[in-house]
Amino acid sequence: MPSCRTKFLPVIAASFLAALACQTGAAEPIRVLILTGQNNHNWKETTPKLKEILTASGRFTVDVTEHPEQCDAATFARYDALLSNWNSWGKAGVTNWPAATREAYLDFIRGGKGLVVIHAGGSSFYDWPEYQQAAGASWNLGQTGHGKPHEFTVKVVAEHPVTRGLEPFKTTDELWMRPGVQPAAKVVATGEDQPLAMATEFGKGRTFTLLLGHSAAFMATPGFQTLLLRGAEWAATGNVTLSATVAATAKLADPDTVLKELAAYRFGDNRQPILNLEQLAAAVSTDPAAKKQLAAKLVGLLASGATVEAKQTACWQLSIVGSAAEVPALAKLVADKELGYPARLVLERIPGDESLAALRAALATTTGEARAGVINSLGARRDAKAVAEIAKSLTDADAMTAGAAMEALGRIGGAAAASALMAADGKVPAALETRRSVALLRCAEGLQAAGRAKDAAPILEKLCRANQPAFIRIEAFPAWVATLGDKGEELVLTALASGDRTKQTAAIRALRHTRSPALVMGATERMKTLPADLQVQVIVLLTERGDTAALPVIADAVESKEPVVREAALAAFGVVGNDAIVSFLAKRAENATDDEKKIIVASLARLRGGGVEAAMIAELKQPVPAVQQELIRALVARNAKSALPALVEAGRGENAGVRKEAIAALGKLGDKTTCGPLLAMLESSPAAEAALVAICRREGTLEPVLAAFEPAATEKKVALLGVLGGVGGPQALETVRGAMKSGDAPQRLAAVRALAEWSDAAPLDELAALAAATDDPKCKAFALRGVAKLAPLAKDRPPADVVALIARAMAAGGGVGERRALLGALGNFHGPQALKAAEACLNDPELAAEAKLAVQQIKAGGQAGRAHAGPAFTDEVVKLFDSPDNLAHGGKATNLDGLAPDGQGQPAFAAIDGNPATYWDETDNQGLYWIRVQLKARATVACIRILGFQHHNYAPKDFEVICDGKVVKKIGGAEYKENLLTVTLPPTECEAVELKITGYYGKSPAIRELGIYGKPVAAQ
Amino acid sequence: MNGDETNMNSSYPSRRQFLKRASVAGAALTLPNFIPSGLLGANAPSQRIGIGLIACGGRGMYESSCYPGSDKCQVVAVCDPWESKRLRAKQVFERHYAARRRSGAYKGCDAYADFRNVLAREDVDAVYIATPDHWHVPITIAAARAGKDMHTEKPLGVSIREDLAAREAVRRHGRIFQYGAERRSTTTARHAIELVLNGRIGRVQKIYVVSPASVKGPVDDPVLPVPADLDYDLWLGPAPWAPFSAARAISGGNGNGIFHIYDYAIGFIAGWAAHPLDQVQWWADNAGMGVPVTYEGTGRLPDDGLFNCLIQWDVQCRYKNGLVMRFMDNRTAQQQDIPGIRDSNAATFVGTDGWICVNYGEVQMNPPSLQNSIIGPDEIHLVRSNRAGGEYVEPHHMSWLDCIRTRQDPVGNIESAVRSDIISHLSDICVRTGRKIRWDPVKETIVGDDTAARMMTRARRAPWTF
């Protein structure tokens, strides 16, 4: 059906373009002038296509000239970019341009604007070198050639704005071989290794050359369009904002072929025929004629000898493209064991009376599961006409059918369905009674919503009777009450007082729905007679109503004997209360339990209204410590800066607990102005140090602390050094270093202590030096502990240096505690030096436990490895890769498969980084993975070892080992031993080793370490 | 506040309408979750909420592990069509409970293949549903009709109509529904959304939602005999029949077919995206935004293999007021320069004065000082569901249990779950049809596109219905 083929393409293209367009935002449109009018290709077709593509993106406005030779600087000045679809090949009419045009053309690009060259658009003026340079690439007679147009994969080969983020994609076009590429042109994409897209900087301007686009049909492909649009945008502006997403090229084969391929499909076969049909169905769905045609062909397949799977697939697509015309054919299949369900899917989805009539008719011809399914579908469609027929199934001996009928009637609703369900009284097995009740409830509520409360009332009354399940009674009661008016209110109050838990729960549910304040008040008066948990429910719903009239009831509940009721009431105050409640709530804190205190604080923190904070501050003056502490916590939660003066005062108060709380609060709420009072409290209250640190860090200033430092006496300086240590940063470091030089011993010690607590690794070296130099045991201890704390923070230094520094510190003669801390720090590193240092302590009884842990951690690969420790790799195996024989060390690993890293996987370098915790891993389920290791120097290679991800899970299985392009070994079905594979190779001298992996365990071949060796090594 | 609350057809005012009135009256705009901490403490076994665990796979066993440590509830039944899984679960819970008894023995957790047996038990008050996606809504609805409360895993349903039906059942039967999007029970995420709601980043100008995409399935997927251990027909349930195979039905983490075969799921565009979309919806519900009304974009389905859910997408979802939410997979996102998006599964709000990116377990913001910004008492507060401490899963389940007692709406309520899941579905339909999709938030239907509208439903294999 070739006519369809041409129709489909615009559908895809148009939606694709629309999607691109919507990403462009409000940027100024780029003005493009297409140069055309002669070309050894069909320019009369391609030019409008190019214009359509550019315009539809919304990013460009386009003019066309068929006489570039008539243009001059003034013409070009109106544009941001030129697009050449013009050449002087063959029997061209114009073979030269006037000097003014030639000059204007080059000046235009050189001056900072853009040129886009399409396919043969640059193949002119071979004796004009600047023209050739500007064009980027052109047909080079005697060198360039091409085969027939065919499908190939376009790959990005260079980092460039045009191709950034572009995944490899398939396209069909004429592919040039060996085009004449200008030296200054950067090839950014290739197909079958042939350059096909180039970017050239020319003067201040840019050229984008795209050798694709042999004809208008090939220009319709999404890949061409993506490259064209992004390339044109870059040429004109130097930037790219358009999407790099290439819409999948729909393989829109002819429907007959698609269906023929599908006809033989069986489960487990390649799903391509299904995908083809899905794409076809999606594409035709906006084209009524094509849709109708496809639907008819699908019905034809249903009647053919195609496989059941093929027919099921056809039905799924018919449910999208089908119409009333296909109903009769599908109706015949509803009773079919294998096709009944898919046929029903289609009928359920096709709108209109025909499909409903067919489903109703199917009630008479189906039994068992098929009939239940038909009933379900009629229920889903809410077909009121089916009620009478479905009702007959209510008493069906088959429970599945009867149950389906109940649910369908419940769903359809209405008086008729309700009567049918009511009439089944006594005729339904007990096991189905609950389902009938649920259906009745649905009908009744539907009737009620439709204003037919009178019809609903008897049903609901029935559902509230004691013989119904409790949850049905609870659900039906509020609805029933609502049908009864004032009488209903009586009923609710009676139920509340009944002592029957089900009735009480139902009554509270009714309260949730009532509009009557009187009823709510009546209910709250009876609240105390309810079980505690139901009282809580009432308090919750009073709170939700947000009614201040509820306050007295809630205040009453605060005095309840039941803790849960008291707590609910205290919480409720936070929502319905105001400033008047502050004093009451605060005073409750004095004798409250810990849980109650938390709730009181939360409520005080939530209270709304202007006067709340003032009331809390006033209350803070009452000298009751238990109350003051809770008030302070609530003020912090409120971010109540107005309380700062009151908190300063509390911070100077008599009670230690209140002082501590207030100072902590000052740390959280305070600003620069709070530093003064806090500095004054520094010697008397240790909490002030933490508060000052918090403020300085938050405000990003040390000024008040530094200002206080110089004039301070020793004792205060010691405290201030603590603050400086907590805040950190270069400014503080300077002052602390100054204090290190002080003649005053306590001050010096405080300075060391501050450095040991530093927030980054800046003082690491001086601490290490101090530890080695000092004789003062206290000072040494601080310095060593500082080294232990800061060493793991030195992320920007070579780990080997830091390990050496730790090792030296361990020899500096500290106590057991310090050496234990240093061992802990070692555990953050990996490699032989770290291991050696830790292992040296294994025999020291005082250190053995820490040393053992450190050894374990180091072997697991430092911090990064901890997450992967376990069966993935063993200690002995890890050592094999750390050997100096491993030629991969110092090499360079790259991937040649164009795939991106996947999940936690990293790029190829991770395979030879000596750290088995990291691994090379790429996109799952690909056909080819290809890694290349460039050796540091040419060497003989005789063996490789692979440490896979996790034994026979995510590891290379079938692969070739290639040395300098030559396959030296093929491995099929590799068998790992404890996650390690050793492959002996014929000794080969080479510069690079590649693995071309085509089979793998798991979903991709991840490699933790790849070792390359000059001599065969014994398999482990 | 919200424009799409028309689905309540009862004649008496709904709870939500109450909330509306309450807020008009100037009372609490958002309700606190003011569960008294001691409410459920020291419960006698008879007072505990009886829990049924439905589906004992990885997620089910992981999240339900917070139950035995709580005296608010007792796991009395477990259920899975895999016999080995349900028996293991039974053993796990019985051991937990036995360890707390003086006798050291406990037999009281029953194992079933069929969830209907769990729902039929009177001592089951509530169920945790951690099945494959195609079972989420059927069991949620069945539980509602049996008078049980439910904690349902994300994503919600496999079609828009399923989502709407779940909401109808939950509301009609007055059930306490918690959606398994546990990021709402974290302090950092809640604070982040409160910052956006209270204008800390100015006016929201653009939203980005990023999630992992589905993966390609194996091309070669041999049909296997159904293990004797499994009731496969029940496992398939409402989904079309298909032969048993490893990639289809045996768990293998995120590469499992249940996540990527259209019969059982719509893919990670819902499965993973549910988390960041849920965060956006938390904001949207409180900002009166509803759901986006138009969807435009591109994407890709696998071109071979067993799996058939989107492996790439980039959809512009536009709210009624013109605000655009750009929804895409994380590969596509990596090519963009989106504030805060470093990896996979996050939502970024870009405002006139800054941005906030909410990820799993971490929030980034600019200016960074927003981190210390306290939400004042007169500002908008979101429900705080982890008051008792903890983050994520445990408080999410515990606050659900508290709400079961007080009959309050949990933090992950059904309305919000439906809305966020609808965004996944509409984006999926947009890519599958290759067209712009228009959504009518009042009628809750796709408008102007018959084909797309049909994709809002799917018939279920009998006897399953909703």
Q: Between vectors from CA A851 to CA A845 and to CA A855, what angle results, nearest 5°?
A: 145
Q: Do A37 and A98 fall into the same domain?
A: yes
Nearest by CB to A567, which of B38, B243, B335? B38
Contact B314 A370 (CB under 8 A): no
Residues of B in contact with A370 (CB under 8 A): 462
B225 preceded by cis ω (within 30°)? no
CB A60 within 8 A of CB A27: no
Q: Which residues contact B57 (CB under 8 A, 6 or more apart)?
A: B80, B85, B130, B251
Contact A482 B11 (CB under 8 A): yes
Read off the pLDDT band of B29 (50, 70, 90).
very low
Nearest by CB to A544, which of B9, B31, B36? B31
Q: Which two tokens stand for residue A341?
A: 């369900």
| A749 within a domain of the structure (yes/no) | no
- Domain end (from A503, A530, A557): A530
Instruction: Tell me what percent of chain A is helix, strand and coil, each rounded to the nearest 5.
Output: 55, 15, 30
Contact A540 B39 (CB under 8 A): no
Q: Do A476 and A511 fall into the same domain?
A: yes
Burial of A561 (0-12, 13-18, 19+ CB in 10 A): exposed
Question: What is the nearest CA distance from B293 to chain A, expressed in angstroms?
Answer: 15
| A1003 within a domain of the structure (yes/no) | yes
CB A944 within 8 A of CB A1019: no
Q: Which two tokens stand for residue A843?
A: 């025999």
Q: Is A766 left (phi over 0), alpha (psi -120 to 50) or beta?
A: alpha
Residues in chain A where the model's pLDDT stays below 50 = 1-26, 249-251, 862-872, 1019-1020
- Domain boundaries of chain B, sorted by first residue: 24-184
pLDDT of residue A324: 95
CA A675 to chain centre: 43
* pLDDT at residue B24 is higher than 50: no
Contact A268 B172 (CB under 8 A): no
Contact A400 B463 (CB under 8 A): yes
Q: For the segment B210-251, what is each residue's pLDDT rounded down to a tens digit?
A: 999 999 888 877 888 999 999 999 999 999 999 998 889 886
Question: What is the nearest CA distance from B218 to chain A, expressed in angstroms?
Answer: 7
Nearest by CB to B298, which of A19, A372, A572? A19
CA distances to A768, A816, A821 from A775, rounded to whole Å, are: 13, 17, 20
Residues of A in contact with B431 (CB under 8 A): none
CA B431 to chain centre: 22
Strands A114-118 and A81-84: parallel
What CATH code is carried by the domain that includes residue A15? 3.40.50.880
Domain count, chain A: 4
* Position with higher pLDDT, A918 vs B367: B367
Q: Among A209, A217, A168, A213, which Cα is nearest to A191's?
A: A168
Nearest CA in chain B to A319: B454
Beta partners for residue B354, in sequence order: B351
**ipTM score over 0.90, yes or no:** no
Contact B459 A698 (CB under 8 A): no
Q: What are the backbone dihedrals phi and psi of residue A194, each rounded to the nearest 5 degrees, phi first?
A: -95, 135
Q: Do A111 and A232 fall into the same domain?
A: yes
Contact A567 B462 (CB under 8 A): no
* Position with higher pLDDT, B378 vs A990: A990
Question: What is the nearest CA distance from A715 to chain B, expressed in angstroms?
Answer: 33
Torsion of CA A687, A690, A692, A698, to 10 degrees: -140
Q: Is B205 left (phi over 0), alpha (psi -120 to 50) or beta?
A: alpha
pLDDT of residue A259: 93
Nearest by CB to B406, which of A283, A441, A536? A536
Contact B34 A598 (CB under 8 A): no
Around Cβ A742, how many Cβ atoms within 10 Å? 14
Nearest by CB to B147, which of A16, A19, A469? A469
| A717 within a domain of the structure (yes/no) | no
Contact B12 A513 (CB under 8 A): yes
Distance CA A92, CA A566 (A): 97
Average pLDDT over residues B408-424: 96
Distance CA A249, CA A906 (A): 30
> Which of B7, B11, B149 best tests the A interface by mutation, with the highest count of A CBs <10 A?
B11
One-letter-per-residue 3-state SS of A655-709? CHHHHHHHHHHHHHHCCHHHHHHHHHHCCCCCHHHHHHHHHHHHHCCCHHHHHHH
Q: Which residues of A754-790 are buried (b: 16+ CB within 10 A; e: fewer)?
A: bbbbbeebbbbebbbebbeebeeeebbbbbbbbbbbb
* Helix pair A714-727, A745-756: axis angle to 10 deg: 10
pLDDT of residue A18: 41
* pLDDT at residue B94 is higher than 50: yes
> Which of A160, A162, A246, A285 best tests the B interface by mutation, with the highest count of B CBs <10 A?
A285
Per the structure, the complete domain to which residue A492 belongs is given by 464-530
- Domain end (from A237, A268, A287): A237
Strands B312-318 and B354-358: unpaired
Nearest CA in chain A to B433: A282
Provide the residue count of chain A: 1020
Residues of A in contact with B157 (CB under 8 A): none
Distance CA B206, CA B324 (A): 6
Q: Which two tokens stand for residue B348?
A: 């970024």
Question: What is the nearest CA distance from A766 to chain B, expressed in angstroms?
Answer: 32
Q: Do A159 and A30 fall into the same domain?
A: yes
Residues of B in contact with A451 (CB under 8 A): 11
Nearest CA in chain A to B125: A471
Q: Which amino acid is at B190?
A: R
Read off the pLDDT band of B386 (50, 70, 90).
confident
Q: How far apart are the first and last CA of chain B?
A: 30
Residues of B in contact with A442 (CB under 8 A): 172
3-state class (DSSP) for residue B82 = strand
| A439 within a domain of the structure (yes/no) | no
- Domain end (from A207, A237, A267): A237
Q: Do A215 and A282 fall into the same domain?
A: no
Q: Helices marked H in A171-221 — which ranges? A: 216-219
| A882 within a domain of the structure (yes/no) | yes
Tally of CA atoms within 13 A in the half-sphere of A141 that contains its CB: 7
Contact A404 B460 (CB under 8 A): no
Residue for token pair 């940027």: A27
Contact A595 B19 (CB under 8 A): no
3-state class (DSSP) for residue A72 = coil
Average pLDDT over residues B103-131: 94
Q: Which DSSP helix (H) or strand (E) runs through A746? A: helix A745-756
Residues of A in contact with B158 (CB under 8 A): none
Q: Among A223, A179, A186, A219, which Cα is nearest to A201's?
A: A186
CB A747 within 8 A of CB A779: no
* Position with higher pLDDT, B315 vs A254: B315
Q: Between vectors from CA A167 to CA A163 and to CA A170, what angle results, nearest 5°?
A: 105
Nearest by CB to A345, which of B217, B306, B458? B458
Distance CA B245, CA B249 (A): 6
Contact B304 A275 (CB under 8 A): yes
What is A937-991 written as a DSSP string? Answer: EEEEEEEEEEEESSSSSSEEEEEEEEETTEEEEEE-S---BTTEEEEEEEEEEEE
3-state class (DSSP) for residue A918 = coil
How high does pLDDT run on average in chain B? 87
Nearest CA in chain A to B12: A513
How many residue pairs from chains A and B have C-beta atoms closer than 8 A?
A: 269
Q: Do A229 and A262 fall into the same domain?
A: no
* Helix pair A470-483, A501-513: axis angle to 10 deg: 40
Question: Is the Cα dihedral A965, A970, A972, A975 positive or negative?
Answer: negative
Contact A372 B316 (CB under 8 A): no
Contact B22 A272 (CB under 8 A): no
Nearest CA in chain A to B378: A608
Q: Do A208 and A294 fall into the same domain?
A: no
Contact B436 A607 (CB under 8 A): no
Residues of A in contact with B223 (CB under 8 A): 267-268
Q: For the segment B251-286, what is each residue's pLDDT rounded down to a tens digit?
A: 666 678 899 999 999 999 999 999 999 999 999 999
Residue for token pair 């686009």: A213
Torsion of CA B255, B256, B258, B261, to 10 degrees: 50
The alpha carbons of chain A give a radius of gyration, in whole angstroms, of 41
Residues of B in contact with A536 (CB under 8 A): 36, 39, 405-406
Residues of B in contact with A924 (CB under 8 A): 215-216, 255
Nearest by CB to A575, which of B9, B18, B28? B28
Distance CA A507, CA A518 (A): 15
Q: Do A222 and A261 fall into the same domain?
A: no
CB A738 within 8 A of CB A711: no
Q: Which amino acid is at A369?
A: E
Nearest by CB to A449, which of B9, B306, B387? B9
Q: Which two tokens stand for residue B120?
A: 């039929």
Nearest CA in chain A to B373: A639
Question: What is the nearest CA distance from B11 to chain A, expressed in angstroms?
Answer: 5
Q: Which CATH superfamily is domain B24-184 in?
A: NAD(P)-binding Rossmann-like Domain (3.40.50.720)
Residues of B in contact with A372 (CB under 8 A): 462-463
